[in-house]
Structure 1
Amino acid sequence: MANINSSSENPKVDLQYRRKKNAEDMKKQVVSFVLMIFLTLIAFAAVGFEELSFGHFVVPFIVVLAAIQVVFQLYYFMHMSHKGHEQPTLFLFSGVLVALLTVAAMMTLVWW
Structure 2
Amino acid sequence: MGNHNTNSVNPSAKVEYRLKKNAEEMKHQVITFGLMIFLTLMSFLAVAYDGFSNWFTIPFILLLALIQCAYQLYYFMHMSHKGHGMVATFMYGGVFVAFLTVLAFVTIIWW
Q: Which residue of 2 aligns with 1:5?
A: none
Map 1:1-112 onto structure 2 (within 5 A): 9-52=9-52, 54=53, 56-112=55-111
Q: Could you say which structure has the larger radius of gyration?
A: 2
**Taking structure 1 as reference, are residues 55 and 47 closer, same or farther at Cα in structure 2, changes over 3 Å only?**
closer
Opposite residue 29 of structure 2, the aligned amino acid is: Q
- Cα distance, 1:10 vs structure 2: 1.3
Q: Deviations over 1:11-36 (max 9, x none)?
A: 11111101100000000000000000
RMSD over aligned CA atoms reads 1.1
Give the letter aligned to residue 95 of structure 1.
Answer: G
Q: TM-score, normalised by structure 2?
A: 0.90
- Indicate the SS of the match to 2:81: coil
How many residues are paired up? 104
Runs of 4+ in structure 1 displaced over 3 angstroms? none
Q: Which has the higher contact order (CA 8 A, sep 6+)?
A: 2
Structure 2 vs 1, CA of residues 77 and 55 (structure 1 numbering), >3 Å: closer, same or farther?
Answer: closer
Please list every run of 5 or more consecutive structure 1 residues that lacks an aligned counterpart in the other structure.
Answer: 1-7
Question: How many Å separate the matches in 2 of 1:107 and 1:58?
Answer: 20
Distance 1:23 1:34 in 2: 17
**Where does the alignment leave 5 or more consecutive residues of structure 2 unmatched?**
1-7
Task: Provide closer, same or farther for how the CA distance between residues 76 and 63 of structure 1 changes in structure 2, counting only shifts above 3 A.
Answer: same
State the alpha-carbon separation in 2 of the partners of residues 80 and 21 from structure 1: 16
Identity of aligned pairs, percent?
56
